[in-house]
């Protein structure tokens, strides 16, 4: 068997760029990519970029095994002029369930309403969820801005866009997204960082802080963590506590529950705020 030649250096990067920094499928948001040889390697034994394309592992699988993506279609995708995407986009799928809960620290928020806001700190910092369908479809929404007013995270009914930035680290896998600010000062007011260093040292470490983390735990159940900033207050949600920080307070107020059984149930009119600061 002929030894497989290596691709030229930079060839993969160039193909990923050509595809817009993500899977070349215009209907796919995955930015984890692999290089596919449209003209099969075993026949041509060449790495010719004109016949190669960056696709994600799931689309790659369709090319090889389901016949759902033809060579003709791949050449069409290659021909789409693209600029590199500035945002990381995707979808958080939450398996349907009759049980719908948001775990925050050692408490959980549930609702019998169609829509519920877990918190709305301002127009730019909020987390809300909606129950759709026959009451078993869970759709999460949120928006988070940095101190300059620029969006870090936008999520609408499970579809998200996160700003791609050298000061922001994004970890995403199906069922989980975490956004980390590598320069906490751009996201958290200075007084917060001082208080956090003293009272919640794990939260801001080496000027790095978790801005937002959403993980699907079970069908219909998600865990929310992060730091959510308003003008005069910050809500910090960790694995075991919810902290309320205000500049006039000496330290944070910590809300501790007894685990998932401690429930904050939102009821009454359509939209309610669990933690209105
Ligand atoms: Zn794809």
Q: Are residues 106 and 128 in the same domain?
A: yes
Q: How far is the CA of 23 from the centre of ligand 1 (A)?
A: 5
Q: How far is the CA of 219 from the centre of ligand 1 (A)?
A: 25
Q: How far is the CA of 71 from the centre of ligand 1 (A)?
A: 15
Q: How far is the CA of 154 from the centre of ligand 1 (A)?
A: 21
Q: How far is the CA of 151 from the centre of ligand 1 (A)?
A: 25
Q: How far is the CA of 110 from the centre of ligand 1 (A)?
A: 34
Please tell me whether residue 156 adopts helix, strand or coil conformation: strand
Domain around 42:
11-85
The pLDDT score that the predictor gives to residue 198 is 86
Q: How far is the CA of 141 from the centre of ligand 1 (A)?
A: 24
Q: Is the pLDDT of residue 180 over 60?
A: yes
The pLDDT score that the predictor gives to residue 270 is 46
Closest by CA to 212, choosing from 118, 136, 135, is: 118
The pLDDT score that the predictor gives to residue 46 is 81
Q: How far is the CA of 48 from the centre of ligand 1 (A)?
A: 21
Q: How far is the CA of 173 from the centre of ligand 1 (A)?
A: 14
Q: What would the pLDDT profile of 183-230 be if each residue is shown by its tens digit?
A: 999 999 998 888 888 888 888 888 999 999 999 999 999 999 999 888
Q: How far is the CA of 55 from the centre of ligand 1 (A)?
A: 5
Q: Strand 87-91 and strand 159-163: pairing?
A: antiparallel
Q: Are residues 42 and 97 in the same domain?
A: no
In-domain check, residue 272? no
Q: How far is the CA of 95 from the centre of ligand 1 (A)?
A: 21
Structure tokens at 83: 């600029």
How many domains is the chain partitioned into structurally? 2
Q: How far is the CA of 57 from the centre of ligand 1 (A)?
A: 7
How confident is the model over 54-66, as a mean pLDDT?
95
Q: Compute the C-alpha angle 132/128/142, nearest 5°.
A: 115
In-domain check, residue 3? no
Q: Are residues 73 and 205 in the same domain?
A: no
Instruction: Answer for the pair 167, 187: CB distance below 8 angstroms, yes or no.
Output: no
Query: pLDDT tier at 1 (50, 70, 90 boundaries)?
Result: very low
The pLDDT score that the predictor gives to residue 52 is 95
Question: What share of residues in the chain are helix, strand, coil (percent, to 5)?
Answer: 15, 40, 45
Question: Going by C-beta distance under 8 Å and a sequence separation of 6 or more, which residues neighbour residue 148?
Answer: 186
Per-residue buried b or exposed e for 210-240, using 16+ beta carbons within 10 Å of the residue's own CB: bbbbbbbeeebbbbbbbbbbbeebbbbbbee
Q: How far is the CA of 69 from the centre of ligand 1 (A)?
A: 11
Instruction: Answer for the pair 266, 107: CB distance below 8 angstroms, yes or no.
Output: no
Q: Are residues 220 and 205 in the same domain?
A: yes
The answer to whether the pTM exceeds 0.75 is yes
How confident is the model over 32-42, as a mean pLDDT?
86
The pLDDT score that the predictor gives to residue 186 is 93
Q: How far is CA 108 from CA 103, 225, 251, 264, in A?
A: 4, 12, 24, 6
Q: Are residues 34 and 151 in the same domain?
A: no
Q: Is the pLDDT of residue 257 over 90?
A: no
In-domain check, residue 118? yes
Task: Please state the φ and ψ torsions of residue 12, each to the nearest 5 degrees.
Answer: -65, -45
How confident is the model over 34-46, as a mean pLDDT?
82
Q: What would the pLDDT profile of 8-25 be if each residue is shown by its tens digit?
A: 889 999 999 999 989 999
Q: How far is CA 238 from CA 34, 139, 233, 251, in A?
A: 35, 22, 16, 16
Q: Are residues 113 and 80 in the same domain?
A: no
Specify the higher pLDDT residue, 112 or 258: 258
Q: Which of residues 54, 85, 116 is at a domain's end?
A: 85
Please tell me whether residue 192 adopts helix, strand or coil conformation: helix
Query: pLDDT tier at 179 (50, 70, 90 boundaries)?
Result: very high
Q: Are residues 124 and 209 in the same domain?
A: yes
């Amino acid at each position: 068997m002929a030894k497989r030649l290596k691709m030229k250096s930079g060839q993969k990067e160039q193909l990923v760029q050509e595809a817009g920094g993500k899977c070349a499928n215009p209907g796919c948001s995955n930015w984890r990519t692999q290089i596919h040889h449209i003209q099969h390697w075993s026949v041509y034994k060449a790495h010719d970029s004109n016949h190669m394309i960056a696709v994600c592992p799931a689309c790659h699988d369709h090319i090889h095994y389901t016949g759902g993506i033809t060579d003709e279609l791949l050449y069409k995708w290659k021909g789409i002029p693209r600029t590199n995407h500035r945002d990381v986009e995707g979808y958080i799928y939450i398996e349907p369930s009759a049980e719908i809960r948001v775990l925050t620290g050692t408490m959980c928020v549930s609702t019998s309403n169609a829509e519920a806001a877990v918190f709305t700190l301002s127009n730019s910092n909020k987390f809300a969820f909606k129950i759709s369908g026959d009451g078993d479809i869970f759709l999460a929404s949120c928006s988070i801005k940095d101190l300059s007013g620029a969006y870090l995270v936008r999520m609408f009914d499970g579809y998200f866009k996160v700003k791609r930035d050298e000061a922001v680290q994004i970890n995403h896998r199906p069922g989980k997204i975490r956004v980390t600010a590598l320069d906490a000062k751009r996201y958290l007011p200075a007084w917060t960082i001082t208080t956090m260093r003293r009272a919640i040292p794990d939260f801001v470490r080496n000027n790095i802080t978790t801005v937002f983390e959403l993980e699907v735990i079970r069908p219909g159940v998600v865990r929310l963590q992060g730091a959510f900033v308003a003008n005069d207050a910050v809500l910090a949600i960790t694995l075991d506590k919810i902290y309320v920080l205000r500049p006039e307070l000496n330290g944070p107020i910590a809300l501790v529950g007894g685990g998932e059984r401690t429930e904050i149930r939102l009821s009454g009119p359509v939209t309610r705020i669990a933690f209105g600061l």
